[in-house]
Amino acid sequence: MLGFDRDKEQLLRLYNEIAKHKAIAQSKEKRLLVLVGESHHSLNSYYVELIIMIFAKELFSIKDLLLELDKTKIESFKRSKHVYENSNMGHGNMQSLFYMNDKEKFAHIIPIDLSSSENKFQNITLQGVRKRNEMMSKTANTMTKRDAVGIVGFNHLYGLLCETKLPECFHVVTINTSNHKNTERTPYGIKCEKFAFGNNAFQFFKQIPEDYSAKEVEEMAFADARDFISTLKDHSLEIGSDKVELLLFSLPILLDSCKIGNNIESSSHNNETTFSRTPLP
């Protein structure tokens, strides 16, 4: 009997979601984009993002990481690297991920929020957010010609997937890592929130103890991801983009053998802009 506890079940579902859409992307001869919605400055989101990047590197050979950053912030991160290395605090998800990527060589980082450094509009207004979404979509399409992971604030998921041509350029699997809903209850904000927290995105939230540091989260994420991958390999499951059919077939058997029930409901896109899938309980 496989030793899959609740946490490993979540990781198995996450892997299966990416693997399933990797196969769909290949069948359509399109690039895969694993689009992650986060809460900025949240260690809960940071944990899941690290898991996704480890999976991307070790299981799916994804080599590009698209971030909701501009070039100015990238340069700022480079200058303040020594501060992070001598601190036990988080510096925001993307800054921490930038430094961890520099250490682990997950992927090539591509800043896609290039409009945010312009002064022609307010970034947080509806017009500004839509302009940024359009620029992020265009930059993602032109700056990478292969599969990628993209990480943006969860409020950008709706605009990127429903108001830009991003789904025409990539086959997108959407993952929401946030549990923080909007404080400003504008009509557009509510629409973005419903999209991110509904069936349009695969829901994966990890509750991190409040007293944890970023470094402790990093250690936990690496341990959990490596333990999960080792468990799969120990049971002779062939993993990776060329063998996803085996895991898809084995998923209900794995969960049933762990006595957690065969309650997975497979779902797929009806079309490129309808993102319907079963969220985690």
pLDDT digits (tens, 9 = 90+) for 73-95: 888 888 876 565 555 555 578 88
Name, in order, each residue with C-beta under 8 angstroms of 69's C-beta and a sequence gap of 6 or more: 94, 111, 112, 113
* 68 inside domain: yes
Label residue 207 exposed, middle or buried (CB < 10 Å: 0-12, 13-18, 19+).
Answer: exposed
* 80 inside domain: yes
Q: What is the DSSP string of 108-167?
A: EEEE--GGGG-SSS-TTSHHHHHHHHHHHHHHHHHH-SS-EEEEEETTHHHHHHHSSSHH
* 20 inside domain: no
59 pLDDT band (50/70/90 cuts)?
very high
What is the torsion angle, in degrees rounded to the nearest 10, for the CA atoms of residue 33, residue 248, residue 179 and residue 153? 0
Per-residue pLDDT, 63: 95
Higher per-residue confidence, 270 vs 155: 155
Per-residue pLDDT, 281: 32
Count of structural domains, the chain = 1
Per-residue pLDDT, 88: 53
* 65 inside domain: yes
6 pLDDT band (50/70/90 cuts)?
confident
Q: What residues make up the domain containing 95?
A: 31-235
Total-model pTM = 0.81
Which of 223, 218, 277 minimizes the C-alpha distance to 8? 223
Element containing residue 202 per DSSP (H, E): strand 202-203
Per-residue pLDDT, 242: 43
Task: Quote the percentage of the chain above a pLDDT of 90.
Answer: 51
Only one residue has tokens 């991958």, namely 229
* 277 inside domain: no
Name, in order, each residue with C-beta under 8 angstroms of 125's C-beta and a sequence gap of 6 or more: none
* 281 inside domain: no
Lowest mean pLDDT among 88-97, 114-123, 161-170, 183-192: 114-123
Which of 234, 273, 232 minimizes the C-alpha distance to 15? 232
Taking residues 139-159, report their average pLDDT. 96
Per-residue pLDDT, 115: 76
* 129 inside domain: yes
* 24 inside domain: no
143, two tokens = 């700056």
Which of 243, 273, 241 minimizes the C-alpha distance to 170? 273
